[in-house]
């Protein structure tokens, strides 16, 4: 990177950080001042980190003319809002007419956001936005259920720029008020040695156990996921260590890559710091983030327990012993445990009710202090600046899709599509809640396969949340249902970036890895239905109901994992695997009779497999 770009980004990083600290530690500014400033800073950071001269195949320096236009237009948008912030508070939406200047600003804003999406998010999201924009203009020509009267160009620009469901809507509010601070904290925590301790801790805990390296991948990715909340980042960080070890132990390349991708994807549903969508969920529902994190504990434990049992059973099936010849040979962990103090303090502060931004700010400062204890992790001024720049870059890359989703949400709400889908699902739900949920789940998966988790969650909530809640499901359960499917879509073929990343590290077939990961993560597809029928799994119920629900989920998880692995005390035949699946599904049904049948079936299957396995082992022993 040229020096002028580095210094420009360093200055922008400092300005953005000071601004974010000021609005949380001193006093908040006018919403029409701080939201556009946050957005425009993110845009300029994106242009400088991802110039077209580097993105294009020709590397023609004339591309800088285009980037200069984008930077200048971002600054113009920022100037417009900062100079008109006070009078915009008195503007009446849907009444005041859009001026020519306002229309120009809105057009430039949409162009900048869409171009930023194309550069740093995905072409899939870019084309989805184009589809929604086309629908806004041509929806009046579509026959049938999804026809609407259309919307004029100035009105559309007003909806996108000034509407509460537009670009500056609640997703970007969450980016400004919460996500920025946690992304910076996660970067400092990882770079100050905390991330390394989590990875090494997972490796050490699974040392000298059956399928040790695979279990290390599950534990390490789960622990690191508590901080990063990014599947691809987890794969890239832990996979380079665990995948080669799994292959060396005896796992197939596709199995090793699948285990890592499934475990890393689970990081987004692992408290205390879940994926960005969880913070946005708290904003949408209007509850404390601590409640979201607490509700996610039992499903997250079930998810990782299923993967843990699965790799254990696969190792047993392959005959991999406890001593695989692969052991943890890193530095002693105990002297470095103190580096985990920032994440522990963060959890305590969240539980005690401190605001999320302040908790993240204080724990970021604490991470820097903790890092100074050891010469190995002590940060020089340049390293400190570089770490801050890394965190700000991540914040910019999250601010872009949250703003872009405002374009789609604004169009969906104003065109009435959400109401029409609600009626469609409501009609289906009159006959069967399961069918209605299945329609919503498939919609979430399709969105999640094409879009990043945050974007998929936001669009799916807009489209399906009111419909599911109309069937009598609570807001928390509804949003968690949608969020889970948005997450697991990241490992659902044909588009599964986490699996493809792991396959690249393992030297495995991307296609085979994708389907293998899909089968390994089947628990994640079942659990959302379970907590719709059993809200106690999300802590909505009495203590007795919560304990019973959790025991039921663990039993179902165990049987599913054994069925997928094809091993329970011994290799399973096909009909025995199918029996495991059937009993696991019976557990999900919300009735006492299904619980009794499920428990009886679980005991019978385990007893039968244990006895026949022992009998076969005795026959195999020489007389």
Q: Say how far apart CA 306 and CA 407 lie, in whole Å.
A: 38
Residue-level pLDDT at 211: 61
Assess if residue 96 is contained within a domain: yes
Assess if residue 377 is contained within a domain: yes
Are 182 and 55 within one domain? no
Are 121 and 179 within one domain? no
Are 360 and 301 within one domain? yes
Residue-level pLDDT at 103: 93
Give the tokens for residue 481: 């249902």
Assess if residue 448 is contained within a domain: no
When divided into structural domains, the chain yields a total of 3
Tell me which residue range forms the domain holding 567. 539-618
Are 319 and 212 within one domain? yes
pLDDT tens sequence across 115-145: 999 888 778 788 888 988 888 888 888 887 7
Residue-level pLDDT at 48: 93
CB-CB contact of 199 with 220 (8 Å): yes
Length of the chain in terms of residues written: 623
Phi, psi dihedral angles at 364 (to 5 degrees)? -65, -45
- Find tokens 């190995």 and name the residue: 376
Are 177 and 313 within one domain? yes
Assess if residue 268 is contained within a domain: yes
Residue-level pLDDT at 80: 94
Residue-level pLDDT at 79: 95
Other Cβ atoms less than 10 A from the Cβ of 472: the count is 8
Residue-level pLDDT at 623: 47
Assess if residue 567 is contained within a domain: yes
Residue-level pLDDT at 124: 79
Burial class, 165, CB count within 10 angstroms (exposed 0-12 / middle 13-18 / buried 19+) = buried
- Which of these three, 379, 400, 421, is where a domain ends? 400
Q: Which residues contact 101 (CB under 8 A, 6 or more apart)?
A: 80
SS3 330: coil
Are 275 and 210 within one domain? yes
Give the tokens for residue 58: 């020709």
- Which of these three, 400, 418, 442, is where a domain ends? 400
SS3 567: strand
Are 103 and 180 within one domain? no
Are 249 and 350 within one domain? yes
Residue-level pLDDT at 210: 62
Are 260 and 392 within one domain? yes
Residues of the chain with pLDDT under 70: 199, 202-213, 217, 222, 225-230, 232-233, 237, 275, 320-330, 422, 426-432, 449-451, 494-495, 497, 616-623
CB-CB contact of 230 with 275 (8 Å): yes
Residue-level pLDDT at 560: 85
Average pLDDT along the chain: 82
Q: Say how far apart CA 235 and CA 604 lie, in whole Å.
A: 38
pTM of the model: 0.77
Are 105 and 242 within one domain? no
- Which of these three, 335, 368, 400, is where a domain ends? 400
Q: Say how far apart CA 283 and CA 172 lie, in whole Å.
A: 11
Query: How far is C-alpha 266 from the geometric centre of its chain's CA atoms?
Result: 8
pLDDT tens sequence across 453-494: 777 788 888 888 887 887 788 888 888 898 888 788 777 776
Are 106 and 195 within one domain? no
Assess if residue 81 is contained within a domain: yes
Assess if residue 258 is contained within a domain: yes
Q: Say how far apart CA 449 and CA 499 lie, in whole Å.
A: 12
Assess if residue 504 is contained within a domain: no
Are 189 and 257 within one domain? yes
SS3 264: helix
């Amino acid at each position: 990177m040229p020096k002028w770009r580095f210094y420009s980004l360093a200055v922008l990083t400092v300005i953005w950080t000071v601004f974010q600290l000021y609005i949380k530690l001193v006093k908040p500014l006018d919403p029409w001042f701080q939201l556009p400033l946050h957005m425009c800073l993110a845009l300029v950071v994106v242009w400088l980190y991802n110039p077209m001269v580097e993105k294009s195949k020709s590397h023609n320096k004339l591309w800088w003319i285009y980037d200069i236009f984008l930077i200048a237009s971002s600054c113009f948008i920022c100037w417009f809002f900062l100079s008109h912030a006070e009078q915009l508070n008195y503007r009446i939406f849907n009444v005041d007419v859009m001026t020519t200047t306002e229309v120009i600003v809105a057009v430039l804003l949409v162009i900048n956001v869409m171009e930023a999406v194309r550069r740093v998010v995905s072409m899939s999201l870019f084309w989805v936005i184009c589809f929604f924009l086309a629908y806004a203009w041509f929806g009046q020509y579509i026959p049938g259920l999804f026809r609407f009267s259309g919307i004029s160009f100035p009105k559309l620009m007003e909806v996108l720029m000034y509407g509460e469901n537009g670009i500056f809507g609640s997703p970007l509010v969450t980016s400004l008020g919460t996500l920025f601070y946690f992304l910076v904290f996660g970067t400092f925590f990882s770079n100050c040695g905390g991330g390394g301790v989590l990875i090494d801790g997972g490796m050490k805990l699974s040392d000298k156990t059956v399928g040790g390296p695979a279990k290390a991948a599950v534990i390490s990715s789960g622990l690191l996921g508590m901080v990063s909340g990014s599947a691809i980042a987890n794969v890239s960080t832990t996979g380079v260590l665990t995948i080669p070890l799994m292959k060396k132990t005896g796992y197939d390349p596709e199995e090793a890559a699948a285990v890592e991708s499934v475990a890393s994807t689970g990081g987004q549903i692992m408290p205390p710091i879940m994926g960005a969508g969880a913070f946005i969920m708290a904003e949408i529902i209007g509850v404390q983030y601590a409640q979201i994190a607490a509700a996610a504990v039992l499903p997250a434990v079930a998810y990782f327990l299923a993967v843990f049992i699965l790799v254990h059973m696969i190792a047993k099936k392959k005959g991999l012993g406890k001593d695989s010849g692969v052991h943890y040979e890193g530095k002693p962990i105990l002297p470095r445990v103190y580096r985990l103090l920032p994440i522990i303090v963060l959890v305590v502060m969240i539980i005690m009710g401190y605001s999320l931004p302040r908790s993240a700010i204080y724990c970021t400062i604490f991470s820097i202090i903790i890092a100074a204890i050891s010469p190995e992790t002590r940060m020089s001024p340049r390293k400190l600046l570089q770490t801050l720049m890394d965190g700000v870059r991540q914040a910019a890359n999250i601010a872009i899709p949250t703003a872009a989703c405002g374009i789609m949400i604004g169009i969906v709400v104003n065109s009435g599509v959400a109401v029409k889908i609600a009626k469609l699902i409501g009609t289906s739900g009159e006959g069967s809640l399961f069918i209605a949920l299945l329609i919503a789940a498939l919609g979430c998966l399709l969105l999640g396969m094409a879009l990043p988790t945050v974007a998929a969650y936001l669009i799916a909530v807009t489209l399906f949340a009111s419909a599911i809640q109309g069937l009598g499901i609570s807001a928390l359960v509804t949003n968690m249902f949608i969020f889970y499917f948005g997450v697991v879509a990241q490992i659902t073929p044909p588009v599964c970036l986490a699996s493809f990343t792991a396959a690249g590290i393992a030297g495995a077939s991307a296609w085979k890895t994708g389907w293998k990961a899909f089968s390994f993560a089947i628990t994640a597809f079942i659990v959302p239905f379970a907590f719709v029928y059993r809200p106690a799994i999300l802590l909505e119920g009495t203590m007795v109901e919560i304990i019973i629900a959790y025991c039921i989920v663990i039993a179902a998880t165990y049987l599913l994992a054994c069925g997928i692995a094809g091993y329970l005390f011994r290799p399973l035949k096909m009909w025995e695997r199918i029996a495991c699946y059937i009993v696991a599904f019976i557990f999900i049904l919300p009735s006492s009779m299904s619980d009794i049948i499920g428990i009886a079936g679980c005991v019978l299957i385990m007893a039968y497999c244990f006895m026949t396995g022992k009998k076969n082992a005795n026959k195999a022993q020489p007389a």
